[in-house]
Amino acid sequence: MPNPSLPRRHGKRQSPRERIKNFDEVSQGLSKEEALLEADRCLNCKNPKCEAACPVNVKIPAFIELLLKDDLKGAASKIMETSLLPAVCGRVCPQENYCQGACVLKEKFGPVSIGLLERYVASAARKAGLLTPPKPSHETGLKIACIGSGPSSLSCAAELRRAGHAVVIFEALHDYGGVLRYGIPSFRLPRAVITAEVETVKEMGVKFINDTLAGPSLGIEELLKEYDAVYIGSGAGLPTMADIAGENALGVYSANEFLTRVNLMEAYNFPRAATPVRVGKNVIVLGGGNSAMDAARCAARLGPQSVRVVYRRSRNEMPAREEEVENAIEEGVIFDFLTIQKEILTDENGRVKGLKCLKARLGEPDEKGRRKPVIMEGSDFIIPADTIIVAIGQKPNPVIPRSTPALKMTEHGTIAQDENGATSIAGVFCGGDIARGGATVLLAMKDGIASAHRINKYLHGKSKKGK
Ligand code: FAD
């Protein structure tokens, strides 16, 4: 019999005092004993709301049941029926908004820690050599190119490979994973976890080509001559800047540049790593989303005296995961809520020396229902700073649209799709952040899988025409 009233397991974590000195993973996950106790809390609902709330519909009660039967291989295979990135999702998916948010135990006992269980199954099965990448039953002889190697392209490529197509991923950077690798820090998502899950997709037979920028040097129309279909999963890697005076000063980074230096190029190891990063004594991060939390927590690990997050609304309106805000606070990050950046102040050498700000109060809700900040005139004040990291949003990557005039775009800079998910070029599909604007890992995966099904349908017709 399930035992939902058992205390909810959260797993061990590095203490804030220790973790602020390193880039190792903060959460240590669950031990086998803890995982089994946590799994025992699951009621194995007949109509599992958790599963319906998961964007890729991971068979949650079924994998938990297999775990309880000590069938680790079966549990891992069950998850991998719909998600090939279980160790990634177990760590970074906002479960509180998806599966755990829908768990029937949520109100009375606290939800089952589904993310930690998924992470445990994925890691333990990999360690025991029990993860078997799905293999296609036949080869179709058709070829598809996927652009980008973020979660949307990885999921699309894996799904297409399952269907027996030859798939090639083209990635602009030297390493694979998209935001997982260049944006999300290793203390939330260790690099080895990303590498291992990319490896699963490679083992399925997907070919990866790095350092290749599709669009200007490898046109979409050119790709269509060699490939039967193209999937664009090029993400939302264009930073939004604050558009205030002083933004070109030395010491101002976009979150994108700062996180890429730290996470992809491992600047925290400089000079052992080739790329440096300088933060000085006082760091200010502008923004309230996951990028802002990641930038602030990375900066805090680089040894400054202070890291402040300047956010124009209150804590209630912050888009960042609550858990990440808590982590940042524990690590000493200071929050200036209801504060709006006005101007970046510089010294005689053009270096950042401070941020002029205004205080705000909350006004009426905007179109998304979040209360808008209203500036309090005459409330100007200055926060001293050596570094300012602008983390106020990401826009769709413009490289492919700019080099592909036939590709219709929306007014938001995303690739336009019709009601069937098709783009304006026959044989070209898209998904993830390039189609939605900044979203989540799981929504990107969902798009990748859905597009793979569309491509299968498109190719089915095509092969009938004698291809
Ligand atoms: P991306 O992950 O952006 O991958 C796109 C890839 O395409 C990149 O590798 C890029 O180099 C490559 N590319 C671009 N253009 C070209 C080209 N022309 N040719 C070849 N390759 C190209 N979501 C969560 O669910 N949980 C989180 O905790 C979370 N934290 C985040 C933290 C940060 C700092 C950021 C920025 C985002 C975070 N997100 C989080 C959002 C999530 O990471 C994204 O929604 C998701 O990665 C989008 O996946 P994607 O595959 O569409 O694009």
- Determine which residue's CA is closest to atom 46 belonging to ligand 1: 441
**How far is it, in rounded angstroms, from Cα 49 to Cα 115?**
15
CATH architecture assigned to 12-127: Orthogonal Bundle (1.10)
Q: Which CATH superfamily is domain 239-394 in?
A: FAD/NAD(P)-binding domain (3.50.50.60)
Mean pLDDT of 355-371: 93
pTM over 0.85: yes
Contact 344, 388 (CB under 8 A): yes
Mean pLDDT of 427-432: 98
Q: Quick one: pLDDT band at residue 137, thresholds 50, 70, 90? A: confident
- What's the token pair of residue 461? 């017709």
Ligand 1 pocket, 113 CB below 6 A?
no
Mean pLDDT of 397-420: 95
- Determine which residue's CA is closest to atom 34 belonging to ligand 1: 291
- Determine which residue's CA is closest to atom 53 belonging to ligand 1: 235
What is the pLDDT of the chain when averaged over all its residues?
A: 95
Does the structure show a pLDDT above 50 at 464? no
Q: Which CATH superfamily is domain 143-237+396-464 in?
A: FAD/NAD(P)-binding domain (3.50.50.60)
Residue 61, preceding bond cis, omega within 30 degrees?
A: no
**How far is it, in rounded angstroms, from Cα 254 to Cα 258?**
6
Does the structure show a pLDDT above 80 at 461? no
Quick check: do 12-127 and 143-237+396-464 share a fold?
Answer: no
* pLDDT value, residue 367: 86
Q: How far is CA 304 from the centre of its chain?
A: 26
* Residue pLDDT, tens place only, 347-358: 999 999 999 999
Q: Quick one: pLDDT band at residue 417, thresholds 50, 70, 90? A: very high
* pLDDT value, residue 465: 38
User: Closest by alpha carbon to 96, among 190, 33, 10?
Assistant: 10
- Determine which residue's CA is closest to atom 23 belonging to ligand 1: 440
Share of the chain above pLDDT 70, in %: 99
Q: Indicate the range of 21-30, 239-248, 312-321, 457-466 predicted with least confidence.
A: 457-466
A 10 A CB-CB count for 60 gives: 28
Per domain, the residue ranges of the chain are 12-127, 143-237+396-464, 239-394
User: Closest by alpha carbon to 357, among 373, 375, 380, 337?
Assistant: 380
Most informative mutation of 85, 119, 173, 179 for ligand 1 (most atoms within 8 A of CB):
179
Q: Quick one: pLDDT band at residue 370, thresholds 50, 70, 90? A: confident
- What's the token pair of residue 343? 């101007």
* Residue pLDDT, tens place only, 138-196: 999 999 999 999 999 999 999 999 999 999 999 999 999 999 999 999 999 999 999 99
